[in-house]
C-alpha cells in the first residue's frame, strides 16, 4: 500500500511540474495573483515589454507540446491507478506503466530545461543572475515547493 502511495505521489509531482510552466508564464504575462502577485517574475527580473512579448511567444510555441505531454502523464497516472486497484495487480503491467511514466517525466524535465535555456537567452547579464538565483531556489525546494514544506523560510537544516 505504501508503494502505491509513493508511485502516485511521484506522478502527481510530474503533473505539478507540467503546471509549473503555466504558472511561470502567467507570472510573466501578469494575470496570476499568487504569492508573487501579478507579474511577480517579470517585476523581479525587470523584463522589458519586448522581453515579455518574446517570452509569451516562446510559451505559446511550447504550449501544445506541454499540454499533450501533460495529458499523457495524466492518462498514465489513471492507468496506474486502475492497474493498482485490481484485486490482484499484475506486477509486470504495473511496472511497465511506471516505466512509461518515468519516461514521460524525463521528457517533461527536458522540455523544461530547453524552455529555461531559451528564456535565459532572452535576458541581459543582470537578469540572468536573478534568473539563475530563481532556478537555484527552485532546485533547492524541489518540484513541490511549499507543498513539501519548503515555504518561504530557510531550507530544512538551516534554521535561523
Q: What is the pLDDT of residues 121-157, one digit of tens each?
A: 999 999 999 999 988 888 887 655 544 444 444 444 4
Confidence label for 16 from pLDDT (cuts 50, 70 and 90) = very low
The answer to whether residues 70 and 15 touch, using CB atoms and an 8 Å cutoff, is yes
Q: What does the alpha-carbon distance between residue 20 and residue 37 come to, in Å, rounded to a whole number?
A: 15
Q: What is the pLDDT of residues 19-77, one digit of tens each?
A: 444 444 444 443 333 444 447 888 889 999 999 999 999 999 999 999 999 999 999 99
Look at residue 71 in the predicted model and tell me its pLDDT: 97
pLDDT: is 27 or 88 the higher one? Answer: 88
Look at residue 4 in the predicted model and tell me its pLDDT: 54
Q: What does the alpha-carbon distance between residue 41 and residue 116 come to, in Å, rounded to a whole number?
A: 13
Look at residue 144 in the predicted model and tell me its pLDDT: 52
The answer to whether residues 25 and 59 touch, using CB atoms and an 8 Å cutoff, is yes
pTM of the predicted structure, to 2 decimals = 0.63
93: nearest Cα among 81, 75, 106: 81
Q: What does the alpha-carbon distance between residue 32 and residue 122 come to, in Å, rounded to a whole number?
A: 22
Question: What is the residue extent of each domain of the chain?
Answer: 2-138
The answer to whether residues 21 and 115 touch, using CB atoms and an 8 Å cutoff, is yes
The answer to whether residues 38 and 30 touch, using CB atoms and an 8 Å cutoff, is yes
Q: What is the pLDDT of residues 90-130, one digit of tens each?
A: 999 999 999 999 999 999 999 999 999 999 999 999 999 99
- What is the per-residue burial (b if ≥16 Cβ within 10 Å, else e) of 111-126? bbeebbeebeebbeee
Look at residue 141 in the predicted model and tell me its pLDDT: 78
Look at residue 143 in the predicted model and tell me its pLDDT: 57
Look at residue 3 in the predicted model and tell me its pLDDT: 53
Q: Cell numbers of 66, please?
A: 506541454
Q: Tell me the residue length of the chain.
A: 160
Amino acid at each position: 500500500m505504501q508503494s502505491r502511495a509513493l508511485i502516485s505521489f511521484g506522478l502527481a509531482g510530474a503533473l505539478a511540474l507540467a503546471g509549473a510552466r503555466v504558472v511561470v508564464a502567467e507570472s510573466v504575462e501578469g494575470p496570476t495573483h499568487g504569492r508573487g502577485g501579478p507579474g511577480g517574475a517579470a517585476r523581479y527580473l525587470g523584463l522589458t515589454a519586448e522581453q515579455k512579448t518574446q517570452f509569451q511567444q516562446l510559451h505559446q510555441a511550447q504550449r501544445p507540446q506541454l499540454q499533450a505531454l501533460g495529458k499523457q502523464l495524466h492518462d498514465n497516472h489513471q492507468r496506474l491507478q486502475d492497474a493498482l486497484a485490481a484485486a490482484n495487480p499484475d506486477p509486470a503491467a504495473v511496472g511497465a506503466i511506471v516505466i512509461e511514466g518515468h519516461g514521460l517525466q524525463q521528457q517533461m524535465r527536458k522540455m523544461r530545461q530547453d524552455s529555461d535555456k531559451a528564456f535565459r537567452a532572452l535576458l541581459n547579464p543582470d537578469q540572468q543572475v536573478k534568473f539563475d538565483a530563481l532556478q537555484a531556489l527552485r532546485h533547492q525546494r524541489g518540484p513541490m515547493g511549499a507543498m513539501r514544506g519548503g515555504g518561504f523560510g530557510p531550507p530544512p537544516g538551516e534554521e535561523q
